[in-house]
């Protein structure tokens, strides 16, 4: 009889513990998700940033590193990838200036960042880059092998007249 | 090879934590392992580079293996109870004290971190500041097997490399961490950012649970990690969140030392402060705050060993980095105004921007609001018993030091508005974990959570 009562009491204890814990956990859960749904900052970070990116990841689970770079960096990366694939590793490239990338009054596909030499080097290394403004100072200015063309600009830096003109490209300095 | 390198880093950090003390909780040991391991590896890379040894996979792994062997030998001879401590710090024994509220928060933490880590690892580095700085330096350092002799540090190749605020003098921990994984064959450096944040969460939870209890620590960890701007930057390649990891934990361990006066916390505090300064130079404000508080405490107690311990750990990396820069000609035009001056407009501008940041709930969620409420709730205990006094002083002092640093800068490479809007905003990340630690560990709130834990205990039902 005594053992039965103890077992009953213990199971009653566990039931009370379980009910209290479940109730508290439900309250905690409601609190958390209320915060995530109502506070502007948490709402953005949870619903837009985290969930939005997860949707993109799930839609392209096997994307290569190059494709993932394209997702984030768009045309800037595509152009640098093109330059990288079209030049040998020891190339010295006459790299476009800011005005070439973002000419006034022209709707350029590029963003601000690509004009930064170090930024571009992350994708073009070990190629060397020389800016048009550095022709007098850059130690590689005399070793230029290629000229980068953007927005149809840069042809005047070639050592010859190009047969046909393109908007974007990379050409050898001399024929 | 990169997996092996990461494993070695974690093992080195784990053993290093045991060298400091075996008495940490398992969560602290695991959490601190990667953080300390990476800091030690980056510090070692400076010496390897200075010795003229190329930073190749062979030298990096050999160096780290030797360091690990040395640390293991130290543990073997001086920490004989290390294995026993591992057995006793296993969480199985404390499972009974857990409850479903704790479990609910832990599940959400794991879920959010899963999404954050997936994002971090999936997308390659893309933010402008890293690609035009840390990320590219790390990438090229791995290719050229050096930091001091980088081709991009050559002023005849990169114009303005010695100009104001140039990347040539950026503190090296993050760049060298990236160089480490790139040298070992990683496709992107994001594994560093992903692991830093993951291990930080575990370390923060471990440290906070000692002062706030398990449930309070879970609450603090979730809301700290959810801080919108900080979470979004945790998956980018910038230095700010990694810096916040070291800076905030160092202050939290200082607070734990003042609470328990156990030497182990002081040692970790010092080591984290050292790493903090190798992350970002302005980390000096946290070193300054902690050292100032320890100085006051030392005078009061006539006991100077704690101060010297922290100063040794905190300043040796800074001295080494300064010497390394001097010896290798890594310098840039100074941006510091070294004489005292008064510019009311500049001071007002800084204060206005900081106030704007404190009030910004889009960037920092409920962090500052909850902190304020917790501060008011605990005011009585603060006044009567000095509860959390040193932590609050560290927050206030480091904030004040940061504003002084901002004031003493000559903004000749960028506008003060830009620096306040972008750098200032991200610098606040350092304070977020401290605020959440305080909010859940102060006497008033802790009492409430302890009662809740008692209520939900299995043997109290």
pLDDT tens track for B125-152? 999 889 998 999 999 999 999 999 999 9
Per the CB < 8 A criterion, the answer to whether B180 and B5 are in contact is yes
Is residue B272's pLDDT more than 70? yes
CA B311 to centroid of chain Cα atoms: 17
Is residue A10's pLDDT more than 80? no
pLDDT value at residue B93: 59
| 3-class state of residue B459 by DSSP | helix
Ramachandran class of B224: left when φ > 0, alpha when ψ lies in -120 to 50, beta otherwise: alpha
Residues of A in contact with B228 (CB under 8 A): 41-42, 44-45, 49
Is residue A86's pLDDT more than 90? yes
Q: B129 to each of B72, B132, B227, B460, how far by Cα in Å?
A: 38, 5, 21, 54
pLDDT value at residue B94: 67
- Considering only A31-35, A115-119, B298-302, B419-423, which range has the smallest mean pLDDT? B419-423
Q: Higher-confidence residue: B423 or A26?
A: A26
Window B:442-461, CB contacts with A under 8 Å: 452, 455-458, 461
The Cα B319–Cα B70 span in angstroms is: 23
Question: What does the CA dihedral B173, B174, B175, B178 come to, rounded to 10 degrees?
Answer: 120
Is residue A5's pLDDT more than 70? no
pLDDT tens digits for B424-456? 899 999 999 999 999 999 999 999 999 998 888
Tokens 């600009």 found at: A153
Residues of B in contact with A31 (CB under 8 A): none
Task: Give the number of A-B residue pairs with CB atoms closer than 8 Å.
Answer: 142
Per the CB < 8 A criterion, the answer to whether B147 and B49 are in contact is yes
pLDDT band at A2 (very low <50, low <70, confident <90, very high): low
Is residue A162's pLDDT more than 70? yes
Q: Higher-confidence residue: B86 or B213?
A: B213
* Across B353-369, average pLDDT: 93
Is residue B460's pLDDT more than 60? no
Tokens 């008692």 found at: B454
* Across B366-377, average pLDDT: 96
User: Considering only alpha carbons, which residue of chain B is nearest residue A69?
Assistant: B124
Is residue B240's pLDDT more than 80? yes
- Highest mean pLDDT: which range of B128-132, B197-201, B232-236, B332-336: B197-201
* Candidate from B124, B154, B456 with C-beta closest to A69: B124
The Cα B250–Cα B159 span in angstroms is: 38
* Across A129-136, average pLDDT: 92
Cis, bond preceding A126 (omega within 30 deg of 0)? yes
Counting Cα atoms < 13 Å in the Cβ hemisphere of B251 gives 34
Per the CB < 8 A criterion, the answer to whether B221 and B105 are in contact is yes
Q: Provide the token pair at B405.
A: 């640093």
CB contact under 8 A, A119 and B131: yes
- Considering only A109-123, B14-28, B88-102, which range has the smallest mean pLDDT? B88-102
Is residue B110's pLDDT more than 70? yes
Residues of B in contact with A119 (CB under 8 A): 128, 131-132, 136
Cα angle at B337 between B336 and B343, to 5 degrees?
130
- Considering only B20-24, B220-224, B249-253, which range has the smallest mean pLDDT? B20-24
**Burial zone of B48 (CB within 10 Å; 0-12 exposed, 13-18 middle, 19+ buried):** buried
pLDDT value at residue A6: 65
pLDDT value at residue B415: 84
Nearest to A162 by CA among A154, A91, A129, A133: A154
Per the CB < 8 A criterion, the answer to whether B406 and B423 are in contact is no
* Across A74-81, average pLDDT: 94
Mean pLDDT of chain A: 90
Is residue B95's pLDDT more than 80? no
Question: Distance (Å) from the C-alpha of residue A2 to the closest C-alpha of chain B?
Answer: 20
Residues 6+ apart with CB under 8 A from B84: B22
* Percent share of chain B, pLDDT over 90: 81
Neighbours of B301 (CB within 10 A): 10
Is residue B92's pLDDT more than 70? no
Order of all β-strands in the sheet with A169-172:
A128-130, A92-94, A146-149, A169-172
Question: What does the CA dihedral B184, B189, B192, B193 come to, rounded to 10 degrees?
Answer: 180
Q: Provide the token pair at B23.
A: 């008495």
- Considering only B2-6, B83-87, B159-163, B178-182, which range has the smallest mean pLDDT? B83-87
* Candidate from B143, B188, B365 with C-beta closest to A65: B188
* Across B396-420, average pLDDT: 89
Report the DSSP beta bridge partners of residue A128. Answer: A92
Q: B214 to each of A69, B112, B287, B378, B442, how far by Cα in Å?
A: 41, 19, 29, 20, 14
Best probe of the B interface among A15, A28, A70, by most B CBs < 10 A, is: A28
* Across B49-70, average pLDDT: 95
Is residue B400's pLDDT more than 90? yes
pLDDT value at residue B353: 92
| 3-class state of residue B427 by DSSP | helix
Per the CB < 8 A criterion, the answer to whether A108 and A149 are in contact is no
Residues of B in contact with A72 (CB under 8 A): 123-124, 126
The Cα A23–Cα A29 span in angstroms is: 10
Per the CB < 8 A criterion, the answer to whether B285 and B398 are in contact is yes
Per the CB < 8 A criterion, the answer to whether A96 and A84 are in contact is no
Q: Provide the token pair at B364.
A: 């920092």
The Cα B32–Cα B196 span in angstroms is: 10
**Burial zone of A144 (CB within 10 Å; 0-12 exposed, 13-18 middle, 19+ buried):** buried
Is residue A1's pLDDT more than 60? no
* Percent share of chain A, pLDDT over 70: 93
Question: What does the CA dihedral A99, A105, A106, A108 come to, rounded to 10 degrees?
Answer: 60
The Cα A112–Cα A105 span in angstroms is: 15
* Candidate from B103, B116, B458 with C-beta closest to A50: B116
Residues 6+ apart with CB under 8 A from B50: B148, B324, B327, B328
pLDDT band at B461 (very low <50, low <70, confident <90, very high): very low
Query: Would an 8 Å CB–CB cutoff place B121 in contact with chain A?
Result: no
What does R_g of chain A's alpha carbons equal in angstroms?
A: 30
Q: Which 8-state DSSP code applies to residue B132?
A: T
**Residue ranges covered by each domain of chain B:** 2-89+100-460
pLDDT value at residue B259: 93
Per the CB < 8 A criterion, the answer to whether B139 and B185 are in contact is no
Question: Distance (Å) from the C-alpha of residue B136 to the closest C-alpha of chain A?
Answer: 5
């Amino acid at each position: 009889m005594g053992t039965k009562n103890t077992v009953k009491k213990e199971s009653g204890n566990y039931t009370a513990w379980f009910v209290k814990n479940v109730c508290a956990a439900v309250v905690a859960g409601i609190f958390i998700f209320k915060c995530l749904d109502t506070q502007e900052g948490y709402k953005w970070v949870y619903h837009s940033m985290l969930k939005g990116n997860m949707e993109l990841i799930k839609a392209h689970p096997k994307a290569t590193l190059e494709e993932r770079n394209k997702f984030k960096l768009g045309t800037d990366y595509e152009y640098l990838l093109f330059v990288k694939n079209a030049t040998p590793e020891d190339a010295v490239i006459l790299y476009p200036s800011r005005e070439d990338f973002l000419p006034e009054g022209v709707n350029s596909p590029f963003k601000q960042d690509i004009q930064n030499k170090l930024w571009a080097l992350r994708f073009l290394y070990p190629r060397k880059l020389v800016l048009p403004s550095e022709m007098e100072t850059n130690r590689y200015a005399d070793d230029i092998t290629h000229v980068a063309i953007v927005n149809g600009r840069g042809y005047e830096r070639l050592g010859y007249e190009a047969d046909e003109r393109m908007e974007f490209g990379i050409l050898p300095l001399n024929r | 090879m990169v997996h092996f390198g990461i494993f070695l880093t974690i093992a080195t950090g784990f053993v290093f934590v045991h060298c400091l003390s075996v008495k940490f909780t398992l969560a602290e040991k695991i959490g601190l392992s990667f953080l300390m391991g990476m800091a030690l590896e980056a510090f070692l890379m400076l010496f390897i580079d200075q010795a003229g040894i190329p930073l190749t996979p062979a030298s990096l792994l050999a160096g780290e293996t030797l360091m690990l062997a040395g640390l293991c030998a130290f543990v073997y001879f001086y920490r004989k109870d290390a294995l026993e401590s591992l057995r006793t710090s296993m969480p199985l024994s404390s499972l009974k004290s857990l409850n479903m509220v704790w479990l609910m928060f832990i599940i959400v933490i794991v879920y959010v971190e899963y999404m954050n880590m997936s994002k971090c690892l999936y997308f390659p580095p893309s933010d402008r500041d890293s690609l035009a700085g840390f990320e590219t330096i790390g990438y090229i350092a791995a290719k050229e097997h050096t930091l001091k002799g980088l081709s991009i540090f050559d002023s005849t190749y990169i114009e303005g490399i010695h100009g104001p605020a140039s990347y040539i003098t950026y503190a090296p921990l993050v760049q060298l961490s990236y160089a480490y994984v790139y040298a070992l064959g990683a496709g992107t450096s994001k594994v560093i950012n992903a692991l830093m944040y993951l291990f930080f969460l575990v370390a923060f939870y471990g440290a906070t649970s000692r002062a706030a209890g398990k449930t309070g620590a879970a609450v603090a960890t979730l809301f700290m990690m959810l801080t919108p701007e900080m979470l979004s930057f945790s998956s980018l390649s910038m230095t700010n969140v990694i810096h916040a990891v070291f800076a905030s934990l160092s202050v939290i361990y200082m607070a734990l030392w003042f609470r328990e006066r156990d030497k182990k916390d002081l040692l970790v505090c010092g080591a984290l402060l050292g790493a903090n300064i190798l992350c970002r130079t302005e980390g000096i404000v946290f070193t300054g705050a902690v050292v100032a508080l320890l100085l006051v405490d030392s005078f009061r107690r006539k006991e100077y060993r704690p101060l010297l311990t922290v100063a040794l750990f905190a300043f040796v990396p800074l001295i080494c980095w300064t010497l390394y820069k001097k010896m290798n000609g890594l310098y840039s035009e100074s941006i510091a105004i070294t004489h005292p001056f008064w510019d009311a407009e500049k001071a007002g501008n800084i204060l206005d921007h900081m106030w704007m940041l404190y009030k910004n709930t889009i960037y920092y969620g409920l962090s500052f609001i909850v902190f304020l409420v917790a501060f008011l709730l605990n005011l009585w205990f603060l006044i009567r018993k000095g509860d959390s006094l040193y932590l609050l002083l560290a927050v206030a002092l480091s904030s004040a030091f940061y504003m002084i640093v901002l004031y003493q800068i000559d903004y000749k490479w960028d506008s003060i508005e830009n620096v306040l809007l972008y750098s200032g905003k991200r610098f606040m990340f350092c304070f977020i974990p401290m605020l959440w630690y305080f909010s859940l560990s102060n006497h008033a709130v802790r009492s409430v959570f302890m009662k809740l834990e008692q209520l939900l205990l299995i043997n109290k039902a």
